[in-house]
């Protein structure tokens, strides 16, 4: 039985009769191939990551979702049969994952884009934080810690909230990603993040910061592909972290419909944005008691653990 992915936070969604991805009970994520060659481009990318020796194992195995070919399925919009990529559902192993999708790069159009496509992308890049910060948060869903049975309290702000976040806003959102102190949407917006899991999720040798730094190291030298409009997906499961069942956070590189040949240079656009994201996360780790920035422990005792 195929169903809508409840933890999908960005991209085309299979709701209200639209074409979007589906999941099954076996950890597969079925993503419809996009039109105008973008779908086949994404398939080619996944194949490349799966097989080309120029992609180091530490990158392809850890940061690229597993790819299991393509499959023709009944589309979610009821339009009939449609080819889908069969990918690993990267959140399937978590019961209550918190997810944040960060579209990397200040520019989402590529050198060969038509003027019309440039205008369309440029408008979005300027209206969001892409131009200012080098990335934009495309979507997020954070699940509260105080989770009772069948009581899924989560924070999933709408597009308007995420539109054009300032540096301070991003710091706050990323701090909330590693915090525990909310139990409703209102709390999530207003409460100062407690950063209860900052060290477990962002820090440590297996934490998100180290993973982003490993990706960065590759982007400093790889001259194979330029990744336009791709995202870094960050996932953590507060329950698992609390219970010691999870070692922290997970980073995946996703969305390859607009990946193009590098033509001999590094992907300076992606790398710059990635470094910007790294600086935010690194700052949050380095300054746990930042009153000014509204990022403060709320006296629940976790300060001592810093």
Which residue ranges make up the site for its own copies (CB under 8 A)?
Answer: 106-107, 111, 118, 122, 126, 131-134, 166-168, 171, 220-221, 223, 263-266, 268-273, 275-276, 279-280
- 2 vs 167, beta carbon nearer its own copies: 167
58 contacts 70 by C-beta, under 8 angstroms? no
| Cα 229 to Cα 206: distance, rounded to the nearest angstrom | 26
- 31 vs 226, beta carbon nearer its own copies: 226
| Cα 45 to Cα 186: distance, rounded to the nearest angstrom | 41
Min separation Cβ 51 and its own copies, Å: 24
Task: Compute the C-alpha angle 254/238/85, nearest 5°.
Answer: 25
- 2 vs 118, beta carbon nearer its own copies: 118
Min separation Cβ 266 and its own copies, Å: 5
* Chain Cα centroid distance, residue 179: 17
Min separation Cβ 294 and its own copies, Å: 13
33 contacts 83 by C-beta, under 8 angstroms? yes
Token pair belonging to 106: 């200040």
- 17 vs 111, beta carbon nearer its own copies: 111
- 145 vs 162, beta carbon nearer its own copies: 162
251 contacts 233 by C-beta, under 8 angstroms? yes
Min separation Cβ 215 and its own copies, Å: 14
Which residues does 79 contact at the CB level (< 8 Å), separation at least 6? 19
Min separation Cβ 98 and its own copies, Å: 23
């Amino acid at each position: 039985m195929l169903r809508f992915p409840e933890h999908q936070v960005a991209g085309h969604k299979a709701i209200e009769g639209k074409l979007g991805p589906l999941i099954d009970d076996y950890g597969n994520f079925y993503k419809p191939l996009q039109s105008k060659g973008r779908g086949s481009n994404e398939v080619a990318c996944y194949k490349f990551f799966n097989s080309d020796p120029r992609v180091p194992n530490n990158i392809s195995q850890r940061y690229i979702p597993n790819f299991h070919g393509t499959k023709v399925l009944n589309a979610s919009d009821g339009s009939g049969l449609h080819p889908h990529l069969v990918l690993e559902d990267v959140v399937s192993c978590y019961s209550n994952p918190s997810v944040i999708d960060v579209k990397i790069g200040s520019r989402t159009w590529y050198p060969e884009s038509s003027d019309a496509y440039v205008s369309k992308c440029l408008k979005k890049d300027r209206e969001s934080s892409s131009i200012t910060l080098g990335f934009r948060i495309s979507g997020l869903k954070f699940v509260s810690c105080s989770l009772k049975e069948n009581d899924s309290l989560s924070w999933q702000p709408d597009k308007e909230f995420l539109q054009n976040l300032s540096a301070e806003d991003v710091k706050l959102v990323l701090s909330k990603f590693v915090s525990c102190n909310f139990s409703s949407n209102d709390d999530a917006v207003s409460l100062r993040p407690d950063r209860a899991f900052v060290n477990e999720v962002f820090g440590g040798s297996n934490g998100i910061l180290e993973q982003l730094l490993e990706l960065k190291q590759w982007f400093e030298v790889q001259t194979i592909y330029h990744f336009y409009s791709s995202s870094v997906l960050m996932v953590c499961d507060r329950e698992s972290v609390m219970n010691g069942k999870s070692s922290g956070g997970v980073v995946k590189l996703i969305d390859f419909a607009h990946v193009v040949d590098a033509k001999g240079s590094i992907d300076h656009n992606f790398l710059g944005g990635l470094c910007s994201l790294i600086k935010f996360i690194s700052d949050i780790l380095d300054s746990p008691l930042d009153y000014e920035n509204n990022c403060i422990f709320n006296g629940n005792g976790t300060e001592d653990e810093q």
